[in-house]
Amino acid sequence: MVTASDDQTAQVWDAATGREELSLKRHETDIENLAWSPDGKLLASAGRDGTIKFWDGERGREKVTVKAHEGSVNSIAWRPDSKQLASAGDDGIIKLWDVTTGREQSSLKGHRESVNSVAWSPDGQWLASGGSDSTIKVWGLGNGREQLNVTGHDRSVSSVAWSPDSRRLASGSEDRTVRVWDATTGREQLKLAGHGPRVRTVAWSPDGNRLASGAYDRTVRLWDVAAGREQLKLVGLGRGIHVESVAWSPDGKRLASAGFETVKVWETNTCEQIALRGHVDSISSLTWSSDSKRVASSSAYGTVRVWDTASGSEQFALNEGDRITSIAWSQDGTLLASVGWKVKIWDVATRTELITLAESGNVVEVVAWSPDSWRLASAGLDGTVKVWNVRSGREQLSFKADKRSVHSLAWSPDGQRLASAGDDEIVKVWDAASGTLRLTLTGQQSFLWSLAWSPDSRRLAAAGEDAAVRVWDAFSGLEQLTLTGHEHSARGVTWHPKGQRLASVSDDRTVKVWDMTTGRERLTLKGHESPVLSVAWSPDGQWLVSGDDGGVIQVYAMEIELLLALARRRVTRNLTAEECRKYLHIEEVPPIPFSSAR
């Protein structure tokens, strides 16, 4: 994602993490427009000084600068083949540029006042423009002539956008409306009203079913084009007087909006969820109590919090004070282990520290409880796995699992094996009694963040830096499934208690649920605004909890009966068909006996 600012710079951002990748600083005045070439190789920026600069999209190097217009450059747009750029300015002229040489190829004149927006049709055959003279014009690129003059807006046209099929045009105007036009005849098909002053920007979703618009009223609105009505209003844009720009992600799942000093990225679909808020830094680990009623979370800088998942309220906090990388709840629900510079065992009932396990200065990265809750395995930066008796605090077993660090550890549900993954990017399966290496699992060619055993101890899943989740037969070592769909690094993985589903989380800020018979993605859960680092399924299989880098925990209701129960408590009428599809993921309205009393 790219952004431009009045500070005369353009920034290139990683859309998943929000991190700045490049900063382009060569304009002498404010940057008004940015556009990435469809092939991703070039970035064009335009300023109030009338110049356009072409940049190498990978290295951030300036390639060509042209003096394009007298006065500000108000809009730029790439032709779909990435060979030509259109620009529009305060001088009322549209110009077409050869992006290789920076030479002007043609000049289109017809607007009586400044041209505020230009857009190419997806098929590359037509160019649309919107101006302060309240008109929209469509130009034929074969002859460079005006083919269509569209009137209907009462005031200046701020933005124009083509539908993906090149058959319709959308426009936003200072008359507070968004309109949709037939691109062949110029007839108005739709008039969408709801914004306050000045609609500044419009954009079609990639599937052509929705329009996004932003305005001076500090809102972004999503419109259902077929129904001709507002679908969603997005608020909370932060500081500023208006929304200057909106842009859809290519997959249509996210929408970026920009205003004064603020860029927001929105998930345009939602799922029923509870947000647990209290941490002020990154969530490093999550773990469920055995009764599925509580979840414990740890932050990177020293606090463990225990939550009631039904109400979303915090029950208590354990202040470790040191760096915490992982936590784990014992299988019997009575003990919590926290991991960092030290491994500490806590009594959940009394909320007191029972014992500290000596680690001789090694930084422990991860722990795993044995199914009988009597033993705890730990591993860290020295590549050594240790098994402890948690009642006595004595070390029972120690073996070298990696030449450098071990980052993931999992105990099989039958208690017989331990799995580890470290810097060598290999999954290893060990005999939990003797520390003997039983199996080496290959196929993963990237850093491994998380391991999880299936409930029957027959399969092992791993989440990796390459964004894939792999599943092996834990006896033969043969890879059974490779689950792909995340856009960035897969950070965590957890099995449903019955073993038929698997959940994974990623830096792409999503939680995905997979069918483990077919290997197909069943569901994508959204709601996180930061990379998701950890995930855990409740022992009863009804809840899924995930924690992100921003300190937010989401609790998702995963069973239809539970979703209906939530609906009964919160709604005083029958759900509409649209609400059923959105929240319950079903097509028909269920017969729910809602009470009219509150």
Name the residue type at position 251.
D
Contact 123, 164 (CB under 8 A): no
Among 150, 183, 198, where does a domain finish?
198
What phi and psi, each to the nearest 5 degrees, are found at residue 560?
-60, -35
For the chain, helix (H) and strand (E) counts, in that order, are 2, 54
Instruction: Decide which of 453 and 314 is more confident.
Output: 453
Among 168, 198, 228, where does a domain finish?
198
pLDDT above 80: residue 28: no
Residue whose structure tokens are 């900063």:
23
Same-domain pairing of 446 and 312:
yes
CA atoms of 265 and 201, how far apart (whole Å)? 16
Contact 467, 488 (CB under 8 A): yes
Q: Which of 263-272, 426-435, 521-530 has the highest mean pLDDT?
A: 426-435
The SS3 assignment for 289 reads coil
Number of domains in the chain: 2
Q: Is residue 260 part of a domain?
A: no
Over residues 405-414, the mean pLDDT reads 89
Find the range with the poorest average confidence among 70-84, 261-275, 434-448, 517-531. 261-275
pLDDT above 90: residue 562: no
Question: Where does the pLDDT of residue 553 fall: very low under 50, low under 70, confident under 90, or very high at 90 and above?
Answer: confident
Q: Is residue 593 part of a domain?
A: no
Q: How is residue 130 written in tokens?
A: 């919107």
CA 570 distance to own-chain centroid: 28
CA atoms of 341 and 332, how far apart (whole Å)? 25
Considering only CA atoms, give the Rg of the chain: 28
Q: Is residue 87 part of a domain?
A: yes
- Write the DSSP assignment of 543-591 as a string of letters: EEEEEETTS-EEEEE-SHHHHHHHHHHH-SSPPPHHHIIIII--SS---
Q: Is residue 439 part of a domain?
A: yes
CA atoms of 430 and 451, how far apart (whole Å)? 14
Same-domain pairing of 294 and 422:
yes
Residues 442, 448, 451, CA angle at the centre, nearest 5°? 85
Same-domain pairing of 312 and 454:
yes
Q: Is residue 122 part of a domain?
A: yes
**Would you state the pLDDT for residue 568?**
52
Contact 505, 474 (CB under 8 A): no
Q: How is residue 495 written in tokens?
A: 């099995």
| Verdict on whether the full-model pTM lies above 0.85 | no
Q: How is residue 60 written in tokens?
A: 């951030």
Q: Which of 101, 102, 82, 22 is closest to 57 using CA atoms?
A: 22
Name the residue type at position 331.
Q
pLDDT above 70: residue 299: no
Q: What is the pLDDT of residues 338-356, one digit of tens each?
A: 876 677 888 888 888 888 8
**Would you state the pLDDT for residue 126?**
94
Same-domain pairing of 289 and 168:
no
Same-domain pairing of 194 and 297:
no
What is the domain-level CATH number for residue 76? 2.130.10.10
pLDDT above 80: residue 327: no
The SS3 assignment for 360 reads coil
Same-domain pairing of 433 and 522:
yes
Q: Is residue 257 part of a domain?
A: no
Residue 204: how many other CB atoms lie within 10 Å: 24
Contact 128, 169 (CB under 8 A): yes
Same-domain pairing of 165 and 25:
yes
**Would you state the pLDDT for residue 280?**
61
Instruction: Decide which of 305 and 208 is more confident.
Output: 208
Tell me the average pLDDT of the chain.
79
Q: How is residue 274 written in tokens?
A: 């509870």
CA atoms of 226 and 532, how far apart (whole Å)? 34
Same-domain pairing of 455 and 357:
yes
Instruction: Decide which of 434 and 141 is more confident.
Output: 434
Residue whose structure tokens are 């919090």:
305
Same-domain pairing of 451 and 308:
yes
Same-domain pairing of 156 and 280:
no
Residue whose structure tokens are 């740890």:
298
Among 170, 198, 226, where does a domain finish?
198
Q: Is residue 264 part of a domain?
A: no
Residues of the domain holding 360: 273-558
Same-domain pairing of 188 and 292:
no
Same-domain pairing of 353 and 468:
yes
Contact 377, 384 (CB under 8 A): no
Distance spanning both ends of the chain, measured CA to CA = 46
Q: Is residue 548 part of a domain?
A: yes
> 335 burial class (0-12, 13-18, 19+ CB within 10 angstroms)?
buried
**Would you state the pLDDT for residue 218?**
81
